[in-house]
Structure 1
Amino acid sequence: MTLRQAKIEDLAALVSFNQAMAQETEGKMLDADTLTQGVKGLLMHPEYGFYLVAEQGGQILGSLAVTFEWSDWRNALFWWIQSVYVSPSARRQGIYAGLYSRVQQMAKEQGNVCGFRLYVEKDNQAAQQTYEKLGMQECQYYMYESKR
């Protein structure tokens, strides 16, 4: 399995994965045009973050996005892990663990990353167990949102 940063050629697969993840975890159907532009935006603007993919035999089996948040308290970046998806037929094979390990390695190489954060649906017990197995823990913050 190859772990690599996504390229613009991966756009269709990443859009498909995001659609599937939103449907599976939240029962949401995302607008394809908006999603395509959003994924493309991250691929084209590395200052916002990046996607990683896990590929085997020319097929993308899993992916995640990382976006950046500056912490003035720590004088360093948090890397937010988002849009995590592994194809159903490839689950429970260590793909997410491999992607997460690669993210940790990249952060160590960069040097100014103070931690990793992600959000997970409250009812998604399988994902929560996976994250906990990899050493992540629930933090003390609630997440709030306001739409404009």
Structure 2
Amino acid sequence: MNTTEQASQQQKQTKFSIKNIFVPDYENYEGVRRINIYVMRLFFALMFVFVATDSWTVILNHEGAWDPTRAVAWCTWAAYSTLALLGVFHTLRMLPIMLFMIFYKGLWLVVVAYPLWSAGTLEGSPAEEMAYMFSGIIIPILFVPWKYVFKKYILLETKKNNRC
């Protein structure tokens, strides 16, 4: 292959197209499809915008002594949302934050919402709104690159490309 063909081939691979977002990107994202990266970035941004706004507002405007349990909760959410901002820029490195979100929301749905729903008491309960919001967890579950998670966190493979 001559240099003109190589340059043309590189342009095709790096040029944005709808088709390319569904193909594993070994050059930039360790074989993770761009669509997964884009959707996870969107979720990281949403986590930052919504959770950071609430948590940091409560922390910065709080007056008086804190209830220790409430303080831990608000500080956890503030730290979580701040780390989510890093996920917008370093998506694969911050993937454990996404896994944490899937785990706590899934656990809450199983432990709190499901028993209420199966007893027919979820509707109208204080948990109803949160159950509705947490049910959106299906989207990140669909877009987390589970093969990558398995390789990185179960098999503990090291990455060859340090770009993401």
Higher strand share: 1
Q: Structures share a fold, TM > 0.5?
A: no
Q: What TM-score does the superposition give when structure 1 sets the normalisation length?
A: 0.32
The structure having more radius of gyration, on CA atoms, is 2
Q: What TM-score does the superposition give when structure 2 sets the normalisation length?
A: 0.30
Higher relative contact order (CA 8 A, sep 6+): 2
